[in-house]
Amino acid sequence: MRNIKTFNMFFFLVFLVFIVLPNPSMMAQEPKFPNSIFLLAGQSNMAGRGVIMPGQATPSSPNILQLGLNHTWFEAHEPLHKEIDEGKRCGIGPGMSFAKTVLAMEPNMGVIGLVPCARGGTGLKQWARGSKLYDNLVQRAYASTKFGGKIKGLLWFQGETDTSSTEDALLYETRLPKFFNDLRDDLHLPDLPIVQVALASGYHSDLITTVRQAQLFLCLKNVRTVDAWGLPLGLDGLHLNTDGAVRLGQMLAHTFLSFKPKHKWVGGRKFGYQISYSTTKYFINKNS
């Protein structure tokens, strides 16, 4: 009789364990926060206008997060700028491709956090210090670090709108470095790595040349330039198509990672050396 009671008590306790203790698969997962944060700013080609293919609108990696409009982190998915580039037809931009490429090449970057801030149709003067766009960029940058992540860089793609005005195109050369310097100053990140994109398109050919020259010949510490000229455009001839946006993201990733110190092996020992942080440019073959 005692054995029967002991046996019944054992199964009763086992039953209680399954009832009282929560099922691990049903427990809420711990919120995840990024280690390495990247600001995405500029206009429509950064926000993305590429056609979203099946499967691209769902999260593809738990290690790539995006900052929402309400400053909360969640798994990133296309279109990254849907909440930010209000009223526009957002699609594939370079952001996701950038993050995927960085993680593939540098897994030690940890969880990547993307902070979408781009707004279509905006000129550089609209991003000047004190403007609504500038203040939003700074506020979202600070919000992104609330849980301990560090801002690793700014990805900047802007300038098409400035090719519609001779005055804006001519002033681009002075406005651009001021914008970068002001942002670094207000973020208290004087050496913030910046990867900017030289235009792939615009409105007036002569003004496209003017703006591109300002971008390509910018000489500012820790600023590097990716040349998007020749990347495939959509039917409007202004915005990168899906393939062009993905390729640009890969180029941005390779260029950003060139900021990292390299190492070489000599006689079986590893010697570190620091690369130059002067402006460098990533060109592509226009016929590619």
User: Helix, strand or coil for residue 247?
Assistant: helix
pLDDT at residue 67 is higher than 70? yes
Whether 44 is catalytic: yes
Calpha distance 63→104 (Å, rounded) = 11
Report residue 64 as tokens: 């790539």
Kindly indicate the confidence band of residue 23, based on its pLDDT and cuts at 50, 70 and 90. Answer: very low
Go through 202-236 and write b for each residue having 16 or more CB atoms within 10 A of its CB, e for each that does not.
beeeebbebbbebbbebebebbbbbbbeebebbee
Check residue 30 and give its pLDDT. Answer: 67
Report, as an integer, the average pLDDT of 97-111. 95
Kindly indicate the confidence band of residue 187, based on its pLDDT and cuts at 50, 70 and 90. Answer: very high
Share of the chain above pLDDT 90, in %: 75
User: Helix, strand or coil for residue 106?
Assistant: coil
Check residue 271 and give its pLDDT. Answer: 30
Q: Which of 36, 85, 201, 239 is catalytic?
A: 239
Kindly indicate the confidence band of residue 22, based on its pLDDT and cuts at 50, 70 and 90. Answer: very low
Q: How many residues does the chain have?
A: 288
Pairwise pLDDT comparison (59 vs 152), residue with the higher score: 152
pLDDT at residue 95 is higher than 60? yes
Q: Are 119 and 43 in contact (CB under 8 A)?
A: yes
Residue whose entry in the numeric block shows the structure tokens 């062009």? 244
Calpha distance 217→32 (Å, rounded) = 40
Q: Which of 25, 205, 236, 288 is catalytic?
A: 236
Report residue 42 as tokens: 């500029």
pLDDT tens for 245-276 read: 999 999 999 999 998 754 433 333 333 222 22
Sign of the CA dihedral with 86 first, then 194, 243, and 208 last:
positive
Check residue 29 and give its pLDDT. Answer: 59
pLDDT tens for 78-92 read: 999 999 998 899 999
DSSP, residue by residue, 5-56: HHHHHHHHHHHHHHHHSPPTTTSPPPP---SEEEEEEESHHHH--BPPPTTT
Identify the bridge partners of residue 198 per DSSP, sorted by sequence position.
227
Q: Are 141 and 116 in contact (CB under 8 A)?
A: no
pLDDT tens for 204-229 read: 999 999 999 999 999 999 999 999 99
Q: Which of 44, 97, 144, 201 is catalytic?
A: 44
Residue 123 burial (CB count, 10 A):
20
Calpha distance 35→226 (Å, rounded) = 25
Q: Are 208 and 199 in contact (CB under 8 A)?
A: yes
Question: Average per-residue pLDDT in the chain?
Answer: 85
Report, as an integer, the average pLDDT of 174-196. 98
pLDDT at residue 132 is higher than 60? yes
Among 43-52, 100-109, 264-273, whose mean pLDDT is lowest?
A: 264-273
The pairs formed by 75-79 with CB atoms below 8 angstroms and a separation of 24 or more are: 76/114, 78/48, 78/52, 79/47, 79/48, 79/52
